[in-house]
A and B are shown apart, each in its own frame.
Chain A
Amino acid sequence: MLQLQEAGFSYGGRDILTDVSLDVAPGSFYFLTGPSGAGKTTFLRLCYQALMPTRGIVRILDRDVRGLEREDITQIRRRIGVVHQDCKFVDHLSMAENIKMPLQVSGRSSELDDASFRDLVSWVGLSAHMDALPDELSSGERQRAALARAVVMSPDLILADEPTGNLDWEMAQKILRLLIELNKMGKTVIIATHDLQLIRTAKSKVPARVLRIANNKVQLAGADL
């Protein structure tokens, strides 16, 4: 699914990540943790080609990202669902239009029938908000809408960058539950978070691995979490 071999990323002469080697198997569940500014977001951005590694090899969905054309990157991104902490939407479109957008931009709108769409928004608990504009939703609702948008194309890999960062504990658990359900459907999930309580909760429900970023390196965390 995702392989990194001695991959690294530098910006402005400063190393953000160095010597990252990792092999993420399909269907696995990973947490990525570390203090703010450690490089969690950079790691995820390398995973969906918003950034290119300055060293080493990154292979995503069996494609080496070096030398990829913009068109190839677009094709790969369509197989990756991304959820950000500050989930952004097109503000003048309804939530329904925003959630369907990945299908629309890839010319696959007809592949999702109304019943399946209703199931999807019901799954994230937003059935009553489909005509609302993004600004009319709460943080938790926006986060769930972002998750629905991320999975509407049935991606192979789901990347979530601090998806519960702005949410209360109850809402954070809801988001976590949805992500665990996706993993049980066979999706590979990588969540960047500094919330150790969330990680402990997840580990009690799913065989999740935890990666810790420290000193620009990514290491598998032990049982000390």
Chain B
Amino acid sequence: MKKLYVFLGNLTDISIGDFSADKVVPPSGYTAYLTSFTAGAMAFLAVFAMALSLATGRLADRWSGELARTSTVRISAPEGQMLAQLDAVVNVLETTTGIASARVMTDDEQRRLLEPWFGPDLPLENLPIPRLVEVLEESKGPDMEGLRLRLSAEAPGAVLDDHTRWRRPLVAAASRLRSLGAIAILLIAGSTAAMITLAAQSALAANGQVISVLRLVGARDVYIARAFVRRFTMRALLGAIIGTTLGMVAILFLPSAAEEGAFLTGLGFEGWYWMWPLLIPPLAALVAFWATRTAAFRALARIS
């Protein structure tokens, strides 16, 4: 807890401390551009990682929600028994607790389902295609095992598919993608910290004379560190603002896909989720603050 107070205290120093301390660090140098560029590039990537994570999260929720409330009964029966079994199935479904509605899919609907594989001119009436009944469940849902037993008793050709078999891997894949997006953001933060640490160490080494002069005239370590920390924090913040802005603009102008590309269409931010990327610049500044502060105090401890 004490460490947290010290950390927050130093964070406050960044904003309201002695700004004249900044002047002791030479104003230019390649580390300045390196830090801003790194922070900008990482922020740009973080926007996409965040968009991916949020999009897959939405996808997982949608698939999970939509598929969880629906199931299908497939009836395969000889031509002469099809109608009887269809009636029996609908009757069973309509009298089962937990089922909101049951609807026999029309020939047109079935043709559209098969169209991607067999083309638009499929002679459905001449083929032994199973008939499908779409079932919408109530929020609590039916007793699936009991329903299966009743269906097999009333219509031997009926098979109940509650989508679990293929819903689970889809939802698992989407959830995994969401986790990967989050891991990518953590890796980006870690890489940013590593690169800024290297840049800060390089700057500290290049300014050995400045540090030795400051020590000689009685500067406290926190004063010396602050000069470097504030410089790097501000550079990272500036770079991250530019990178985030470019990333958000790129996401905004992603080409819109039709229904067939629904997944790609979902790779943007929706509604208030556009606020999420705005967290990236302050987080990048926080990472830079922590990385530079750690590097600075470690380097100063080595110098007598």
Contacts and interface: CB of A to CB of B under 8 A. Distances in A.
A30 to B, nearest CB: 20
B212 A104 contact: no
Interface residues on B, range: 20 to 34
Secondary structure of the B contact surface, majority rule: helix
A105 B209 contact: no
Interface string A128-147: 00000000000000000000
Interface string B16-59: 00101101101100000000000000000000000000000000
Nearest to B24: A90
B36 to A, nearest CB: 20
A90 B216 CA distance: 12
B212 A88 contact: yes
B217 A105 contact: yes
A82 interface: yes
B304 A51 contact: yes
Contact of B218 (A89, A97, A105): A105
Contact of A93 (B24, B220, B221): B24
Interface residues on A, range: 20 to 34
Given A50-B304, A51-B304, A88-B209, A106 B218 contact: yes
A153 interface: yes
Contacts of B219: 74, 105-106
A107 interface: yes
B218 A90 contact: no
A92 interface: yes
A75 B213 CA distance: 16
A81 B106 CA distance: 97
Interface of B: 18, 20-21, 23-24, 26-27, 209-210, 212-221, 223, 304
Given A50-B304, A90-B213, A104-B21, 10 more contacts: A74-B218, A74-B219, A77-B218, A88-B209, A88-B216, A90-B24, A101-B213, A102-B218, A105-B214, A105-B219
